[in-house]
Amino acid sequence: MKLNEIRTFIAVADAQSVQEAGNRLGLTQSAVSRLIQRLEAELGVVLFDRQTKPLALTRDGELALAHARRVLAAAGDFADAFAGAAEPRGLLKLGVAHVLTALAAGRPLDELRAGFPGLTFRLQSDWSTPLIEQVRAGSLDGALVLLCEDEEPPEDLPVRRLSSEPVSIVAGPDGTPNPGLAAMNSRGWVLQPSGCRYRNALHLALAPLGQQPNVTVEAFDQSLLVALVARGVGYGLAPLRLIAPIPAASSLRPVDVPGFRLRVTVWLVQARTAGRIGPVFDRLEAVLHRQLDACAPVLHSAAE
């Protein structure tokens, strides 16, 4: 039995789908199925009930999953024992939440490339929850994620808290000062697709008015969303310090809306099997703190 079989088994169990596990691991669906079948043959048990949707573990599968997580953690401890023995080399797979791409891809990435020339950095952008699942499954070495202030980070992975940020409603430079939430909703919003935590908060804020968010443009790319708001396409939602590295952000104006409150926390989540790349995350944490300190928002109040 091999570690890649165990890692694949954990990924399928977490995703409850062979196809989704393949997406997270960068494998084809047939490759994932073969690895699971090979592991089942070696163990002599059936790990999944293939008649259910989503895919469910059998009783043997539930027992095997607990052992599999311990095996993978032990393998990580073995690798960690030699973490300082050589310079990190190879491929480092880092997940970045959509909102944090501009923050991470500037100075932090430049410093990591300069400090660890033997590494190739592969960046992957996604929602925070799938990124954490991919770190847990071993398909990512770590991830920079964003959680609401009432959400706890994963307890089974090493995490580092970087900052807590208020989320503001933002408008273009020509927007009407403080038009009210109903009027803003009539104009429209420029937001990420459904699943975005900001969008959920907006839905709750509009509920007392009997309205649903009037989303006129959707996009995952935070730089594109900021540029669209700056052009006056609609109103947006963003943590001001986190979007400060985006050039168009300097022209945005925050709008104070009584009763609207949302705060998010930035976390650096690290894989349990860090091995020799532990120093990379130490450096990344330090440079992200410096970058955040340098990202004081230069935005102007919409009341000016």
Q: 3-80 — its CATH code?
A: 1.10.10.10
Architecture of the domain spanning 166-263: 3-Layer(aba) Sandwich (3.40)
Do domains 90-160+267-294 and 166-263 share one topology? The answer is yes
Q: 90-160+267-294 — its CATH code?
A: 3.40.190.10
What distances in angstroms separate CA 150 from CA 118, 241, 262, 301, one per listed residue? 39, 20, 10, 28
Residue 114: HSE in the Cβ half-sphere, 13 Å Cα cutoff: 8
Tens-digit pLDDT profile for residues 264-297? 999 999 987 656 778 899 999 999 998 888 876 5
This prediction's pTM: 0.69
Q: Please check whether residue 213 is in contact with residue 141, taking contact to mean a CB–CB distance below 8 angstroms.
A: no
> Sorting pLDDT into bands at 50, 70 and 90, what band is 96?
very high
How far apart CA 9 and CA 49 sit, in angstroms, is 13
How far apart CA 278 and CA 141 sit, in angstroms, is 10
Burial 154-178 (b: 16+ CB within 10 A, else e): eeebbbbebbebebbbbbbeebeee
Cβ-based burial of 38 (10 A; exposed 0-12, middle 13-18, buried ≥19): middle
Q: Domain extents for the chain?
A: 3-80, 90-160+267-294, 166-263
Q: Please check whether residue 214 is in contact with residue 189, taking contact to mean a CB–CB distance below 8 angstroms.
A: yes
Tens-digit pLDDT profile for residues 211-260? 999 999 999 999 999 999 999 999 999 999 999 999 999 999 999 888 78
Tens-digit pLDDT profile for residues 2-25? 888 898 999 999 989 999 888 888
